[in-house]
Structure 1
Amino acid sequence: MSVPVQPPGGQQPPNVAVDPRRRRVRRPVVSGVAAAVLGLALIAGGIAVSGATETQTTTTSDTSVTQEQAGTPPEGFSGGSQSEGQFGGGQSGSGMPQQGGSSTEDGTSTSTQAAATAATTEQQVGVVTIVTTLGYENGQAAGTGMILTSDGTVLTNNHVIEGATSIEVTVESTGQTYTATVVGTDATHDIAVLQLENASGLTAITLDDDGGVSTGDTVTAVGNAEGTGDLVAATGDVTATDQTMTASESGTESETLEGLIEFSAAVVSGDSGGPVLDSEGEVVGITTAASSGSSTIVAYAIDITDAMEIVDQIEAGNASSDIVIGYPAFLGVQVSSELSSSQPGLGSSGSLGSSTTGATIAGVIDGTPAASAGLAAGDTITAVDGTAITTSSQLSSVLAEYSPGDSVTITWTSGTTGTSQSATVTLIEGPAA
């Protein structure tokens, strides 16, 4: 199958392969005492327009004492929201419960959780809906975010904007829509910071200032549920704090989020990136994941204190192994993956049969440096600026060290003639991380 050398945004996970219609649908495993098999997925935008592959996932939870088989997730829920051909970051796929909880086969809800309701005027303050265009996938995605400053700094999940080539943000309390640019991203901790263009006089969210939440506290998640563009509020109780969730897409290496708030609100796809409010209306977390396949939804939020520490690093321009400032450099190739599925938006090809050690190209995106250099499907990239390339994941990590505008020399072996060739290209600005 194939993965893009540079997943949108340049945060280069090692050869991550994902179903093309799925937005970072993960398999979280939350540490705890008792175990219950549930389906979990990151919540990123609204609903999928086209069908997506279903998946079953597992978790261990402090709050469950029985084990049950995960049910079939309803089609159209999972990571973010998008139409066909997702490049990562909005919703598509499956794996998220329907709003208010899972349903039985005859359609009767078995959840005892309170159904979500329209967000009040107070709950909408500082909350935005996000729609991204996934230019390399011919799709769109949707999610939620929070205004941090009056001039338009916005906080959201990385997976909400991953793969975006353009981002539109609507301030729901006023109806005003802005174009947004990416200030920086942290894919490891699932945080992204955006800047609204020509924004001023905006009302920001109120951050919690009295020590966060404890087990048993009532909280409310506000978000762009199902990507409809209307804010919805889902209320529940904190069931645990300081949780660790290991998330992985099928066939990929796992990623871990720590220090999470676990709560019982009936959140759904589209709520990702939205605020979790305490009883005083202050933001204590960012909704980032929830379960499916069970009658009771278990949701997870990144603690706002942890999120703001990353925001501070991004705003200071402190790039690191986790943090990407701005947009990544982009070569524009699809590469053959050692894994069994494909990275969103770049299609799949399986093995191309090259015996040369390196990163075998599955396809080249028109209008990119790779296309200009004459790279083609079947070629194998063997070096970048003299650094030997032995795997597609190594190619990703090497290219991640460059910035848009940098010139690099690419060396490859032709898939048709077997000869070694090279060309110097100027890397362009890629889609969001």
Structure 2
Amino acid sequence: MGRSFSRWRLAVGIAIVAAASLTAPVPALAAPDDLTGAIAAAEPAVVRLDTRIDYQHAIGTGTGIVIDPNGTVVTNYHVVAGADTITGVVLGRPYTADLVGYNRSRDVAVLQLRGASGLPAASIGDSSSLAAGEPVVALGNAYGSGSPLTQEAGSVTAFGQKISAKDELTGSSSEMTGLIEFAAPVRAGDSGGPLVNARGQVVGLTTAATVTFRMGPGGAGFAIPINDVMAVAGQIRSGAASDTVHIGPPTLLGVGVATGDQDPSIPGVIIRDVLPGGPAALAGLNNGDVLISIDGSGLDSATTLTNVLDRHYPGDVVDLVWIDREGRQMTGKAPLNAG
């Protein structure tokens, strides 16, 4: 049985939660008394991330990891999804961050800190060498960029875990597999931070926590194995776009959709919100219309919509087909923006 969790954007953070169990996990060992050395080794390469979405007047916090002295950072995509501005703070110094690219399904994004050089880069470990019961610590920005980093110590409890995710920002859903489960009380804002072994090496990217404990004491966390993260990051850094890897900022159509209450017999996705002056609005879409296809690709969910848009880039002009509120089939063209 898979786990189900939701992503949501909060005024003070971005979180993912998980519930239920895929397999019976290995019993957790007691957390080690002292991971001071590991924490001291890893902390300088931790990035505190602050994001802002102008249209929704929303702010968020998350975490990242410096992987190159010139300011290349890996984090979860959900930490920066939809953000108009991203600020990364390393060793107390703020940098404007640009989104280099992302893999939405693996929840991995690469950022570049403008003007950065000589930064401490994380020591990257080998996630395939982890063993059940091995002590780990998750470092994160749950308390915000003006507070000390969180240090959630625990131990590895299971491998190959699967969770189903729903993005509350877009309504899209996805399934993540191959995750590391560890017994530590990670919380909102820790997303995108490093899971560190006792040698101070990064072995995972924290991405989820159990809802059972409401991000409080106890509970469990989930991390993407760092071997997988670095493989995705390498593809992004090489500029090799694919069906799953998008280079640069995402494209903006300028619609909000909701499919939870939609009649399954109705094709397409119901438009709940149209960004004034955005590509969809300029094409003629209105609230209550049903968007059927983009460039001939049929739409049946918010997930399909985001996946189709991920295959396009700012400046692309796409053909839209929709049914308006009076039942008429309409067509139009939309030049996609970055956003």
Percent identity reads: 35
Hey, what's the Cα distance between the residues in 1 that align with 2:34 and 2:281? Answer: 48
- Equivalent residue for 1:63? 25
| Contact residue 195 and residue 223 of structure 2 kept, 8 A | yes
TM-fit CA distance, 1:361 = 2.6
One-letter amino acid of the structure 2 residue matched with residue 362 of structure 1:
R
Structure 1 360/41 Cα, relative in aligned 2: closer, same or farther at 3 Å? closer
TM-fit CA distance, 1:184 = 1.0
Match of 2:333 among 424, 428, 433: 424
Alignment of 1:5-404 (within 5 A): 29=3, 47=12, 57-63=19-25, 121-171=40-90, 173=91, 175-208=92-125, 212-227=129-144, 229=146, 230-240=148-158, 242-249=159-166, 255-294=174-213, 296-337=218-259, 339-340=260-261, 357-385=267-295, 387=296, 389=298, 391-393=300-302, 395-404=305-314
TM-fit CA distance, 1:384 = 3.8
| Contact residue 44 and residue 270 of structure 1 kept, 8 A | no
Structure 1 216/42 Cα, relative in aligned 2: closer, same or farther at 3 Å? farther
TM-fit CA distance, 1:226 = 3.5
In the superposition, the TM-score normalised over structure 1's length comes to: 0.65
| Contact residue 225 and residue 271 of structure 1 kept, 8 A | yes
One-letter amino acid of the structure 1 residue matched with residue 88 of structure 2:
V
TM-fit CA distance, 1:293 = 2.5
The structure in which a higher percent of residues are strand is: 2
One-letter amino acid of the structure 2 residue matched with residue 424 of structure 1:
K
TM-fit CA distance, 1:378 = 2.9
Hey, what's the Cα distance between the residues in 1 that align with 2:266 and 2:224? Answer: 43
Hey, what's the Cα distance between the residues in 2 that align with 1:289 and 1:216? Answer: 19
How many residue pairs were aligned?
Answer: 327
Hey, what's the Cα distance between the residues in 2 that align with 1:246 and 1:378? Answer: 32
Which segments of 5 or more consecutive residues in structure 2 lack a partner in the other structure?
none
Hey, what's the Cα distance between the residues in 2 that align with 1:389 and 1:278? Answer: 45
- What secondary structure does 2:203 align onto? strand
Hey, what's the Cα distance between the residues in 2 that align with 1:43 and 1:384? Answer: 26
| Contact residue 46 and residue 225 of structure 1 kept, 8 A | no
| Contact residue 329 and residue 428 of structure 1 kept, 8 A | yes
| Contact residue 46 and residue 224 of structure 1 kept, 8 A | no
Hey, what's the Cα distance between the residues in 2 that align with 1:328 and 1:149? Answer: 23
- Is 1:410 aligned with 2:327? no
Hey, what's the Cα distance between the residues in 2 that align with 1:381 and 1:390? Answer: 7
- What secondary structure does 1:371 align onto? helix
TM-fit CA distance, 1:309 = 0.8
TM-fit CA distance, 1:195 = 0.7
One-letter amino acid of the structure 2 residue matched with residue 425 of structure 1:
A
TM-fit CA distance, 1:420 = 4.5
Hey, what's the Cα distance between the residues in 1 that align with 2:39 and 2:266? Answer: 60
| Contact residue 207 and residue 284 of structure 1 kept, 8 A | yes
Hey, what's the Cα distance between the residues in 1 that align with 2:8 and 2:290? Answer: 36
1:201-249 CA-partner distances (Å, limit 9, x unpaired): 1111111269632122221111112435431212222223x32222234
Hey, what's the Cα distance between the residues in 2 that align with 1:43 and 1:283? Answer: 26
| Contact residue 44 and residue 269 of structure 1 kept, 8 A | no
- What secondary structure does 2:129 align onto? coil
The structure in which a higher percent of residues are helix is: 2
Hey, what's the Cα distance between the residues in 2 that align with 1:388 and 1:272? Answer: 33
Hey, what's the Cα distance between the residues in 1 that align with 2:281 and 2:39? Answer: 50
Which structure has more RCO (C-alpha within 8 Å, separation ≥ 6)?
1
One-letter amino acid of the structure 1 residue matched with residue 275 of structure 2:
I
One-letter amino acid of the structure 2 residue matched with residue 59 of structure 1:
S
Hey, what's the Cα distance between the residues in 1 that align with 2:255 and 2:272? Answer: 8
- What secondary structure does 1:244 align onto? strand
